[in-house]
Structure 1
Amino acid sequence: MRCKVLACVALLTLIKHVSPSEIQAGLNASATLPCNVTLPGPTEMSLIQVSWTSNGSSVASFSNGIPNTESGFSWNASRFDNGEFSLTILRTSFNLQGLYECTVSNNSTMWHSSNVTFSILVPPTLDVPRLWLMLETESHLTCRADGFYPPPIAFSWTRAGIEIQTPTDQVQGEPTPNGLYTATGNLTIYPSREDQNVTFGCRVLHSGRYQELEFNINVTYPPTVRLSALPSQANNVPVTLYCDVDGFYPEQVSMSWRQNGSVLPDLPTTDQNLDGTFRTRHYYTLSPAQREQGGMVECAVHQPGAAQPVISSEDLAKLDPRAGEPPLLTNSAKASVALMCISLVLVILLCFGFSWRRRDEKQKSLNVSGIILPPRVTVGQKGRVSLSIEGRRVDRVLTTWFLNDIPISDTSLIGTSRANFNCLYNPLTTIHLPYGLTLTSPASEKGPLLTSRGETGYYKMRTQGPLHSSGSGTQQLISSLTFVPQISVHKGAVFKCQVSYAGKDKIVAERVSEKFTILSPPEVSEIQLAETQNDSDVISMTVRSSHFHPDVITFRWFCEGGELSPVASQASSSPRPNSEGFFSAFSQCKLHRSELEKGSTKVWVSVHHIALRQPITRETRGFLKRPSVSDVISSASPLDQTVILGCQITDFFPPNISVTWLRLREGERDDREEEVIEGGEMWGPIQTQSRLYRATATLKRRATSQEKKEKGGFGGGGIICRVEHISLQEPIEKHWKSIDIATPSIPPSISVCWSSEGVGVFSLVFKGGHPKVKLLWAAGGRTLTPLVSSETEEIGDDGQRELKSVCALETSTNLPSPSSKQQERRKNGQTRTKAAVMDPDTEGIEYIDEGGHEENNNVDRDGETRSEFCDDSDRDSVEHPGALHINKVNLKHGARERERGRLRVCVEITHPALQLPVYRTWTEPNKDISSSP
């Protein structure tokens, strides 16, 4: 376009030159492209021509007083009288960017020409998340710039108006579906007390302009924690603990109390110190049973921004010296003791037995957690469910796992000899031996996955413990179950775990898990492009997803920053599962061929599914052309007994193409094909035109002894050339079947026998050859007319197959006059001539190449044919039902009335072994042509 403008400047002196200007506007806004001309006085507007062009295409024009604009553009025709021809873009977009040219002329005189460059400019939107940062701890600030165009962008940071980090290298950012870009900048700091309430800033440099977002950071001060207890007069009354928390900021803190790992409720209160920090004291009153239990007591303080809570722990026996001492007897208790001493010994023993049983049940009490499910359950990946058991006798605890209500056995050890485990082997549970010993499985949970067995699946049980969790004798046991998810087995199922003691049938506790969703990420194909059947100018693009679960899946199509609407998508409705429970879906989008033929148009599709941490993207760039595949042709080399097959592949794009040669045995169908491993080669691809390629696939092989026995040398089924290309939904296949080809023996000339009535019998005899030759008889003068012939086959005396072709002909003019010796033979040849017309296979037909007198041979100037005249005046013989069809040929006269044209009889011989057809011709001699009466 610039070259065109410069040429106009050099040739036309009336052009008013205007320096190029640049117009920028936001996305989806309106923009005005200026074009102002000073008109030389009153002007007839019908004589003015105005044109706006962009990239060689016209977007607006004004001629003969009529304004025209393309869709998306407008201008005010009422201002044309003032010389204002500015063009307005109604809704800006990325594809409207570029150089625009405005030309104004009057008849053939150009008055004005100017260029305007239009571009999209969208400043970024800045955002810094408000975070709590821990005092004097490495922290990270993130500044996010969203929705800017064009890239790149640069980040810098300020503190109290002073730059603390200079602009980094320019960042291109990541494109978003709407065509804009997003980028992030990071700053690492160690917050101090001086940073509290100080203004920080994130500064962004974009297209030569700075943009800044100011903010304040929040600094968290960790506290000091001290745990104490209020004095108590007796052991059988509640004890009150308190926790002093000092020097923390901000005020919002949460407190939690724990005893032996179990969380206790609390109601906090806070007060403010002189230095601006806060303090609080939290109390908690232990019940007599909790006080008697003893153990470690913890006070944990949680703050915003702190990764770990601040904890203070003490032994309850140290905080409360009376904890664990026997309780003091009251007066009622002393009276009861006195009464018990007077009672019978049997009553004492019964009370003692009851107390012992109660103590034993207390020791057997368990604290069982809920079943913990894995965060993601994915098909083919190990998942693990577990629960925790706490108590004093967990070494005698047994766990049994169920899937719904079906017991689960350990299938990971199937196939392993059980002799190594003696009688202690139990596939359902983990056995705990005396003295704290456990029987562990030799199989490792980190080993390779074992294949699932039927409908049971893969399960491995494991128990960790007992682990000592406190000094009071409480122990912890963790029971876990590792499994490989299967949709057919685990879809909609729950796990259940029953806890009991060894040797006891009573179920101490039972826990049931929540239902979980089984995930299977989709397998996404490449984008398949193909021409639409009804409209070759429309290209359909299809992507398929398979083997995913659950059924909700989303396809999103994009083209150069703009989102496309799919024309067909199975994902819009719930796809049906296959026999294994997996789902499949497809999505299709269409574009005009002109868009893809640009060679740089980028189309991509993103597939979203809950099993994917990031969406899967497939993209294609440029035009795809479906290849044309020729039939398979063959050539044989008699020297090394090899056969070369060839297949031409033309007019395809892109050049990536795959060719596979397949062999089919006799009687087999396509689904039982056998691939030919060796001998396949491909020449090319070579470029023939812009974005068009061609290639040649060849297969060179020498038949084996077994293949030689089979028909054709490659197997009776033949050979398939299979061509695969990205533009093909199904491969193109060309089938070649080997045929035994043998060249026949062709006579050097046509044998001819004429009757006295002017009927000529023309014949040829072929020996051997496969398949049969194809013959076409024709006769006439300068032009030839096809004739009807008769062919018969028989086995000759030498054992070879013979093909006889006979054609009978009668001309409409006078026949050639027979010679004197021919008249002498007329009587002897009469019977043979009649028999030749009636039955061409009759014995005794006299052919020139079988013997005859020299004077009977009339050879044309090419020396290809011989003729013989026979006397046969019986015209009724040709009317016999078994006679040959007598063809009639009209010969036109020449320039002189008494001269007619020479008769020519020609036969065309075609055969697969012949590269070109072979011709045999008989021409009437000049001396036999008589003048017309």
Structure 2
Amino acid sequence: MRCKVLIYVILLTHKHVSPTEIQASPNTNATLPCNVTSPLFVKGVKIDKSLIKVSWISNGSDFASFSNAAMQIKDGFGWDTRDFNNGDFSLTILRADLDLQGVYECTVSYNSTMLHSSNVTFSILASPTLSIPQQWVVLETESQLKCHADGFYPPPVSFSWTRDGQVIQPPYHVEGEQTPDGSYMAVGNLTFYASREDKNVTFGCKVSHNGNYQELDFQLNITYLPSVRLSVMPSSSNDIPLTLYCDVESFYPEEVSVSWLQNGTVVPEPPTTEQNPDGTYTTRRYYTLSPEQREQGGKVECAVNQPGVVHLVSGSAYLEKVDPQDEPPVLTKSAKASVALMCISLVLVFLLCFGFSWRRRDEKQKSLSVSGIILPPRVIVGHKGRVTVSIEGRRVDQVQTAWFLNDTPISDTSPTGTSKANFNCLYNPLTTIHLPYGLTLTSPVSEKGPLLPSRGEMGYYKLHTQGPLHSSGSGTQQLISSLTFIPQISVHKGAVFKCQVSYVGKDKIVVERVSERFTILSAPEVSEIQLEETPNDSDVISLTVRASHFHPDVITFRWFCQGSELSPVASQASSSPRPNSEGFFSAFSQCKLPRSELEKGGTKVWVSVHHIALKQPVTRETRGFIKRPCVSEIVSSTSFPDQTLTLGCEITDFHPPNISVTWLKLRAGEQDDREEEVIEGGELWGPIQAPDPRLYRATAILKRRATNQEKKERGGGIICRVEHCCLLEPIERHWRNVDIVAPSIPPSISVCWSSEGVGVFSLLLKGGHPKVKLLWAVGGSTLSPLVSNETEEIGDDGQRELKSVCALERSTSLPSQTSKQLERQKNGHAIKTKAAVTDPDAEGIEYIDEKVDGENNNIDSDEETKSEVDDDSDKEGEEDPGALHINRVNLRTGPRENERARLRVCVEITHPALKLPVYRTWTEPNEEISSSA
């Protein structure tokens, strides 16, 4: 009994596990591992939970405990006691935040004996959000750009700046400042002097945080400082108003405001501008000083204000210099007349001022307060987004808005769009949304109206206007103008929205608002994990996952295997991959594991894909062994009497058993076969386990009857396509639709002799597939090959007809160029192949003289018969491809002078359907020999 107790104590020996680090994003779940390896915790064996004691402690505080079969756990944590039987005492943090960071200690004991103690360090990882609030700079002046990185943890972050993809400021670290919610914010600064070449150039702020990169691209708005010159209009008297004018030249952009100051007091003036040939603008501003202001004297300034300029540019002058005061002159009659005229002018000026004040009162009633353009928090490709502007004033019922994408007008293309002015009220059920800066947005409860492309193919847009809505207080009214759009990368990347506010019937733009540039998001489409054997090492399995159709380009793959993180061996997830034609990015990641790990069937491998467009990472996982299938060639057989064609293909040695087989019909082509259609009716026998229990085999079968069209074509073929989870590309096997049919052969050769001594031998074969091969020969006891002509046509019964013709001229003398041959060359005509076959007895058959082929014409002198084939010239044959070749045969006499061998013409017919060649022979009759002798 004592021995048993000693062994039991040894089994319960304490095991210490090295500390583990766990990171999670804010508001996500995180699992703190605590696993005990002990003979007590065996799968399928229950243990006495009343003897188990578990405790999770952090910073002296007890977060979860289990003792005497009772559990205590704080809010925000989760625990599944059913896993205790397996030795799993892991604790789950629900909605992680910064306050929960720290070192957690897990202790496990059984029957008062310590089994396990481990530490887990938990921390939060949050990526920053980038923004560049100010993008106006002054030409050739020191400018400061600021890049804000908000909401990141832990510090620090690294900033760098680029120009057209080139780094202009190398990375530098910034610790940042902590915000009230515990996260950090940091600002990166760029100091530089803007030049004219920086216009329309793309700059970028690149931020690195914990190995992840983000980049925000933008273009600068450059201000060209003007030259300002103040002048005065000549005046004949000191008692009349004095008109000043200010020349403002060579400035950019066109929007500029000029204010007049006298001794620090600002007086407004409406603008007038003109554009210079170099793209800058010129304006002249006037201001008339009253006699009291002229008498006051002092310094007069013309100050120019431009976007992004801190210190105003101004021109100044002293009235004492530009408008010297003269002594009061003695009034003459003409001077008195001038005074009277001036009085009249003062009355007119008074009337004008009264009208101006009345107009100012009316304009005050029409004054508007327009908010900035409010962008949606997340702009996702294919999802509706809305931009909004709020307008407040006394007369918003007379206000109209116009929306632009960059500088291109946007029109409402929805079928429900109103035909009236776009400020009309929509009588749909409304809901109120509270916006920043104390604004509210009243919008339809649901937005299900269809969106159609606007003119110019700029995308999808729908305009909305709600109002006028009565506001509390001084009787002002509120108008909400908004634009719903579906983002597209090719259209909206790097773009801005503009909203111009004006009164109905007026061309003047009262207010224009321009939005900030926004980042377009597109969540990645993640494939399943693809497993494949490594070509050079069959003991290693490659696991590949692909992500496509995402934007922006920063993406992260993290591989895990049974609780530990793997290192990828190949990845195409760099910070700047090239986009496709639509502007989307693609990437892949790959890791490798030994075959022995996967063959166990229990190793779990998963990959986590992180992207800014995803609220939660996308996870793909796989488990088990995989083996690439072997596919045999297609075997065919034909069953009688229904002529059913059966095709079969063996698929062996694959795992897992899931496999797909598709049969496809090919259309015959001269050079290649093209896929035409999928054939239905294929069968798959299996999969069934092979002798090796880990592997499977199957047989793909296709039974079909050939159609009449296929019988006529006798070409093309069929493909068996096999797909399996380990194959990047399917395996294909081809079967050619070739039927072997013997032709119909006539019993004898047809022969006709012309008056010129030329014999035309012909043979007509019908049907057959593929095409037959023919060889003509002539001679006595030995044969020499001849040249023949073949033509192929389709007969009346629809079968193929092959006509073979061989022309032969015999002679008993050595070949020489006779006067008859010279006459043939002079005439220059030839026998046509078709005419020789159809009507060999036709009159006027003429000849082609051929050259002599000494190698084929010389036969040993001790042979009884000699045949020669001579060729004189092939020029005529080259000029007319339809000419019939004439073979010339020289038959020499035997030992006796009056004895000559009998002429023998033979044709050999070979075809795949014939086991042996078929021969047809024509032999010269005896009477012809005697007559010729």
User: Structure 1-normalised TM-score?
Assistant: 0.45
Higher strand share: 2
